[in-house]
Amino acid sequence: MYLATLGRIGRMPAFASALLVCWMTARAALMPAAAIPGTATGPIVILVSANTEWAVVKAAYPGATYRQTPWGEHFDTDVAVGGQPTNVVFFHGGWGKVAAAGSTQYAIDRWKPSLVVNLGTCGGFDGEIGRFDIVLVDRTIIYDIREAMGDSAGAIADYSTTIDLAWLGANHPVAVRKTLLVSADRDLVPGEIPELRNRYHAVAGDWESGAIAYTCARNRQRVLILRGVSDLVSASAGGEAYGKIQVFEEGTRTVMTRLLAQLPAWLALAK
């Protein structure tokens, strides 16, 4: 999820996020090594984080039977892939790193998916990427770590994840920007754009991708992250959606509708 001003209350302090990720890491390390990439036989799980993103999914599937989990709603449906019905689970995991890590682990434990697909939004760096462009994420960096007793760069490196996309092949079904995504439990700060661009060569950022990729990596779970640029942030002019929630909502409808339409073409590569 990208925009912060969604009427949230009761934010967890930063250390709570770190504690949960540590717990997820220890838990995954103790689990049996059953999730060798590409060998799990469960359904494909489509993980969606933000409430606004999930609202677009629900509008696209008004007749689905929705069931509750400790994290959010889910429903099962068939998606036509190459003319054949493919069973998928759409799952609302929740916004931010804590919910993203927890709900990803829940999905892996419950459904033992053959593939986890995260569809969502991100904020783009103005001048580096276009609004509504689709990012195929090949690496994630959780950058909002501040280490006072040691080296922050080392801690950030520990929570950076390279995603294995070799199974996709070289020919992607739609036009995408294959690049890394920076993640933090906050919206992009305009004044930090130059540093994020220069230090990490980033062009966009979000809230959840880093935690999703990290949790999947710890479980040796195959994952595909596709994020559409809902709005742009400029180091000089600020964010075009900041203080204008309708800009984010309109951008989310556009990119999520596009991602849902393109989903069957991506799933065909997972066969």
Q: What is the pLDDT of residues 169-181, one digit of tens each?
A: 999 999 999 999 9
Name the CA radius of gyration of the chain, rounded. Answer: 17
Alpha carbons within 13 angstroms on the beta-carbon side of residue 227 total: 33
Task: Kindly tell me if the per-residue pLDDT of 13 is higher than 60.
Answer: no
Position 147 confidence tier, pLDDT thresholds 50, 70, 90:
confident
Residues of the chain with pLDDT > 70, as a percent, come to 85
Residue with tokens 């999820």: 1
Domain of residue 190, residue span: 14-28+37-268
Task: Kindly tell me if the per-residue pLDDT of 165 is higher than 60.
Answer: yes
Q: What is the structure's pLDDT at 144?
A: 94
Task: Kindly tell me if the per-residue pLDDT of 86 is higher than 50.
Answer: yes
- Write out pLDDT tens, residues 184-221: 999 999 999 999 999 999 999 999 999 999 999 999 99
Number of folded domains in the chain?
Answer: 1
Examine residue 98 and state whether it is found in any structural domain, yes or no.
yes
Task: Kindly tell me if the per-residue pLDDT of 25 is higher than 60.
Answer: no
- Write out pLDDT tens, residues 217-251: 999 999 999 999 999 999 999 999 999 999 999 99
Examine residue 99 and state whether it is found in any structural domain, yes or no.
yes
**CATH number (domain holding residue 44):** 3.40.50.1580
C-beta neighbour count of 135 within 10 angstroms: 26
Examine residue 9 and state whether it is found in any structural domain, yes or no.
no
The DSSP element (H or E) to which 140 belongs, if any, is strand 134-142
The whole-number average pLDDT for the span 252-261 is 98
Show the tokens assigned to 22: 């540590």
Examine residue 220 and state whether it is found in any structural domain, yes or no.
yes
Task: Kindly tell me if the per-residue pLDDT of 19 is higher than 80.
Answer: no
Examine residue 68 and state whether it is found in any structural domain, yes or no.
yes
Examine residue 59 and state whether it is found in any structural domain, yes or no.
yes
Comparison of pLDDT for 6 and 262, the residue scoring more: 262
Show the tokens assigned to 221: 């779970």
Residue with tokens 């890491």: 25
Examine residue 214 and state whether it is found in any structural domain, yes or no.
yes
SS3 for the chain, per residue?
A: CCCCCCCCCCCCCHHHHHHHHHHHHHHHHHCCCCCCCCCCCEEEEEEECCHHHHHHHHHHCCCCCCEECCCCEEEEEEEEECCEEEEEEEEECCCHHHHHHHHHHHHHHHHCEEEEEEEEEEEEEECCECCCCEEEEEEEEECCCCCCCCCHHHHHHHCEEECCCHHHCCCCCCCCEEEEEEECCCCCCHHHHHHHHHHHCCCEEECCHHHHHHHHHHCCCCEEEEEEEEEEEECCCEECCCCCHHHHHHHHHHHHHHHHHHHHHHHHCCC
Task: Kindly tell me if the per-residue pLDDT of 12 is higher than 70.
Answer: no
Q: What is the structure's pLDDT at 3?
A: 42
Task: Kindly tell me if the per-residue pLDDT of 149 is higher than 50.
Answer: yes
Examine residue 189 and state whether it is found in any structural domain, yes or no.
yes
Q: What is the structure's pLDDT at 151?
A: 85
